[in-house]
Amino acid sequence: MKIHINEVVTRDGFQMESKIPSISYKLDLINSLIDAGIKNIELTSFVHPKYVPQMADAEELFSKIPRRSDVTYSAIALNERGVDRAQKAKADEINLVFSLSETHNRKNANQTVDESIQFVQKLLMGESVLQEQIPINIAISTAFGCPFEGLYTKEKLFPIIERIVEYNPNSINLADTTGMANPKQVEETCYAVKSKWPNLKVGLHLHNTRGMGLANVIAGIRGGVTHFDAALGGIGGCPFAPGATGNICTEDTVHMLEQMGYDTGIDVDKLILASRGLEKELEKTLSGQIMKAGKSSDTHTA
């Protein structure tokens, strides 16, 4: 089975870092990721630099990336201004984000959930600034639970998905923004979503905040999902979600999947080298395990 990895290190990864990597380093990192076999990269966010200064170089980064027909670069936008910037920068895909949680959505987007959904619907209907047929992906943050409101069930999620699928988004990504989900919840939710909307492309954005990230990947696969976000070295988190540190680690995820017989098309050894380089760049110890322990297939001299 083919499992697709969307690398988010330059967006979700860097948005929490106090040390902001240079454009030069970001470009070197992107080239390393592509060389390792990464085909999908969430490059940046078109947001106000006052609130997320790590993304202030969004336009410059898009102007300098290596454009390839087999690599898709996406970007996050929260409003019409962000969408306009993304399309002018020639993003291959635009990711719109809103939260299932009213509290989190107000903190993250300064909107009610209904206001965010109305914007999504307006954009997908062609009644906004979008001028070209750019694929629009919808990410639902706090899809499994919110640190302000508690855990959620699919009964809260389904009415929101119902409103979105009517307008045919390219995909819907369910985000465990603060790492609250457990494998049982993930499998049951994904299975229910895929059963109700079998033709809908569904992805998972998982965090390892409570140590269940990789278990949730397997749960998602069992539930019918084959697209997953991950960040090199396991860095990242949400600035507006207390305690939410660490995406699932790309190299750890790929290593696990390949060991289990899944096809990712990604070279783990090259990811390990890139992750060790990232650790040096950020001048801190990263949470990735394979970069420290090596692959399960590695042997040592007796």
The distance in angstroms from the start CA to the end CA of the chain is 36
Q: What confidence tens digit (pLDDT) does each residue in 42-76 have?
A: 999 999 999 899 999 999 999 999 999 999 999 99
Number of structural domains found in the chain: 1
Q: What is the largest CA-CA distance in the chain?
A: 67
Question: What is the CATH number for 96?
Answer: 3.20.20.70
* 261-294 pLDDT per residue, tens: 999 999 999 999 999 999 999 999 999 999 999 9
Domain assignment present for residue 69? The answer is: yes
Do the domain assignments include residue 115?
yes
pTM for the whole structure: 0.95
Q: Is 190 a catalytic residue?
A: no
Decide: 182 and 216 in contact? Cβ < 8 Å: yes
In a domain, residue 236? The reply is: yes
Element housing 271 (H / E): helix 268-282
Percent of the chain with pLDDT over 90: 85
**And the tokens for 134?**
């750019």
Which of 146, 190, 238, 249 is flagged as catalytic? 238
Domain residues for the domain of 276 are: 4-293
Residue 300 belongs to some domain of the structure? no
